[in-house]
Amino acid sequence: MAYRLVNMVVILVSLFVLGASGNDDQGTKWAVLVAGSNGYVNYRHQADVCHAYQILKKGGLKDENIIVFMYDDIAFNTENPRPGVIINNPRGGNVYQGVPKDYIGDDVTTSNLLAAILGNKGGLKGGSGKVVNSGPNDHIFIYYTDHGAPGVLTMPGGDDLYAKDFIEALKKKHASGTYKSMVIYVEACEAGSIFDGLLPKGLNIYATTASNPSENSYGTYCPDTDPAVPSEYHTCLGDLYSVSWMEDSDKQNRQTETLEKQYQVVKTRTGNAKEYSSHVMQYGDIDLSNEFLAIYMGATSSSKHHGKHTPSKDDEEGSSTYLTSTVDQHQADLVYLKEKWLRAPEGSKEKNEARIRLEEEMSHRKHVDNSIQAIGDILFGAQNGAVVLNSVRPAGKPLVDDWDCLKTTVKIYTSHCGPLSTYGKKYMRAFANICNAGIHVDHMAQASSQACT
């Protein structure tokens, strides 16, 4: 009798330890990794995604369960000083090796992304055909990194993912009963606007964002910042929120660290940056943050053996207490263009082309700034224009009431004033406020025409 009792205690203790270690063998781990940009100027976004892939791969996730969206124009770009190599840290290794090329180039689209999340192979156009074919006991991790803007996640082809459409897809995924829980990490400017007032509780979804609904997120490991990047690089290697969660995941025991613990680590590091900082936010079913990282990211080989971690100098510089230098996401491309111009030989064709690109970018920004201001003045008067366009709604209220109006207003502007570009999309809140003010589309068209002709 005593022998049986001892055996029962051993079994119960083993089960408790297994649960406490973060292992969940009752389902498959799925991941969707998205870099929403292209061009060497945006090196950091694909570097982020490649690093995330390596974390999941080392955690035991299979390639068949990791879906990668990235343009794939960085590793062998003529500007890359290390062909075939992508790094996400000044002293980091190659994170590009082995990364699946599921959706690259023109296949990195909003429609393909939503189809992949929903497991809808029929909705795909191009790509590997891989989708989240998940079941009711499965766990899903979604990570997105790019510029972003109020209410939108940008994509390289210009078919931006609007917050309302993303949330509707998540609701549809939940209604299908094809997952147990989901975690979403979003690196983007105004990332909180994707979920604030839109993501309801009860979907078994926990989301964290690099920024609140009304502030920028920031690039890091950039030229002329601390820590210094290798001299041959003239672009940012990572994004602060992203490298914060990934460097934490690299060194911590994911079987014992919770999502909440990582949220606090990332919040501290992102909020304590040297030049600029943002407020990391969390949305949805916050109770899920008590779960262990391993449920979504897998466990590292060291954590499986509960090996002790010996802190190093690199760890110190990647910890929550290290004050990392940052660059405003909206200014990162100017840093790149300026560095390219400064490094080009005097009198060379390369230097002249770099100067022209820099001047064109500055001219475009001035045009967008002036045209938006003019539209606001025309619609609301010179004294009220800026106040209305820049107004921020209270927490818990979505960016805009009528999302179709927002899409239409953006189209009207671009038809009269030209493309917004990544920089110009920071004015999405202005367009939303035009809709919230009840401005008719005809009046918007008249104001845009007047401002830009």
Q: For 342-384, what is each residue's pLDDT tens digit?
A: 777 888 888 888 888 888 888 889 999 999 999 999 999 999 9
* Run of H or E residues at 207: strand 205-209
- Reading the block at residue 119, the tokens are 């497991």
Cis peptide leading into 345, omega within 30 of 0? no
| Strands 238-239, 218-220: pairing kind | antiparallel
In which band, very low, low, confident or very high, does the pLDDT at 143 lie, cut at 50, 70 and 90?
very high
Planar angle of CA 146, 147, 151, nearest 5 degrees = 105
Q: In angstroms, rounded to a whole number, what is the distance separating the alpha carbons of residues 69 and 156?
A: 11
User: Would strands 218-220 and 326-328 be described as parallel, antiparallel, or unpaired?
Assistant: antiparallel
Q: Which two tokens stand for residue 398?
A: 């979505």
Give the span between the Cα atoms of 301 and 298, in whole angstroms.
10
**Using an 8 Å Cβ cutoff, are 406 and 439 in contact?**
no
Ranked by mean pLDDT, the top range of 30-44, 217-231, 319-333 is 30-44
Cβ count near 200 (within 10 Å): 15
Q: Which two tokens stand for residue 234?
A: 């003239």
Contact by Cβ (8 Å): 189, 147: yes
Residue 217 near residue 191 (C-beta atoms within 8 A): yes
Mean pLDDT along residues 200-215: 97
Rounded to an integer, what distance in angstroms lies between the CA atom of residue 256 and that of residue 20? 7
Higher pLDDT, 79 or 340: 79
Instruction: State in Å, rounded, how far the first CA of the chain is from the last one.
Output: 92
Dihedral through CA 212, CA 217, CA 220, CA 224, nearest 10?
Answer: -130
Strand order in the sheet with 218-220: 238-239, 218-220, 326-328
- Beta bridge partners of residue 32, listed in sequence order: 67, 142
240-254, 320-334, 350-364 — which is least confidently predicted? 320-334
Q: What's the pLDDT at 330? A: 67
Span 137-149, average pLDDT: 96
Q: Enumerate residues 6+ apart whose C-beta is below 8 A from 423.
A: 330, 333, 361, 364, 365, 368
Residue with tokens 């309302």: 164
pTM over 0.75, yes/no: yes
Tokens of 377: 């003045």
* Residue-wise pLDDT tens digits, 378-428: 999 999 999 999 999 999 999 999 999 999 999 999 999 999 988 999 999
Q: Is 174 among the residues known to form the active site? A: no
Q: How far apart are CA 216 and CA 426, in angstroms?
A: 9
Q: Which two tokens stand for residue 438?
A: 């009840």
What single letter denotes the amino acid at residue 219? Answer: G
- Residue 394: predicted pLDDT: 96
What is the C-alpha to C-alpha distance for residues 337 and 41, in angstroms, rounded to an integer? 8
CB atoms near residue 422 (< 10 Å) = 22
* pLDDT given at position 263: 98
Is residue 22 within 8 Å of residue 56, measured between CB atoms? no
Burial degree of 86 (CB within 10 A; 0-12, 13-18, 19+): buried
Decide: 223 and 41 in contact? Cβ < 8 Å: no
* Residue of 139, 147, 330, 416 with catalytic role: 147
**Token digits of residue 443:** 């009046």
- With a cut of 50, say whether residue 271 has pLDDT above it: yes
CA distance 437 to 375: 14
Q: How many CB atoms lie within 10 A of CB 421?
A: 14
- Mean pLDDT along residues 52-67: 98
> CA 108 to CA 126: how far, in whole Å?
9
- Check if 147 is active-site: yes
Which pairs with CB-CB distance under 8 Å and at least 24 residues apart come from 380-387?
A: 380/437
Instruction: Give 340: exposed, middle or buried? Use CB within 10 Å, 0-12, 13-18, 19+.
Output: buried
Question: Structure tokens of 220?
Answer: 């890091």
- Which residues lie across from 372 on neighbouring strands? none
Any idea what DSSP says for residue 287? G
| Angstrom distance (rounded) from CA 239 to CA 347 | 34
What's the confidence (pLDDT) of residue 422?
86
38: left (phi over 0), alpha (psi -120 to 50) or beta: beta
Q: Which of 45, 51, 139, 189 is catalytic?
A: 189
